[in-house]
Amino acid sequence: MSTVSCPEYNELQDRLHRLVNDRESLSLQVSVLAEQVGAQSEKIHDLEMLLDDKRHKLNTTEEMLQEVWNFKVFQKNLFFPGNGLAQYPGSE
């Protein structure tokens, strides 16, 4: 192996060594962040599915409530005619 007499050689070697270490550190950080993004993406997907399920249940409940309200209005009008039709709250 030949020796280099350039006074900047040791400085360049040190700098190269630091850059290699920095690259390895950044590569590890990217891997960790990629795993975190993957986990968060799965969590977001699960939450979106849960939200869709809750919306469906809410819509079903609102439809059932509307049917109960309509039935009560029907009963009221059947047994007490002349009072006019009651309106479902929020359907105005």
Q: What's the pLDDT score for residue 26?
A: 98
Spatial contact of 76 and 88, defined as CB atoms under 8 Å apart: no
Closest CA to 88 of 78, 74, 59: 74
Is a pLDDT exceeding 80 seen at residue 88? no
Question: Cα separation of 78 and 80, whole Å?
Answer: 6
Q: Extract the tokens encoding 27.
A: 């590569």
From the number of C-beta atoms within 10 Å of its C-beta (0-12, 13-18, 19+), residue 71 rates as exposed
Mean pLDDT across the chain: 88
Q: What's the pLDDT score for residue 2?
A: 55
Is a pLDDT exceeding 70 seen at residue 83? no
Tell me, yes or no, if the pTM score tops 0.85.
no
Is a pLDDT exceeding 80 seen at residue 3? no
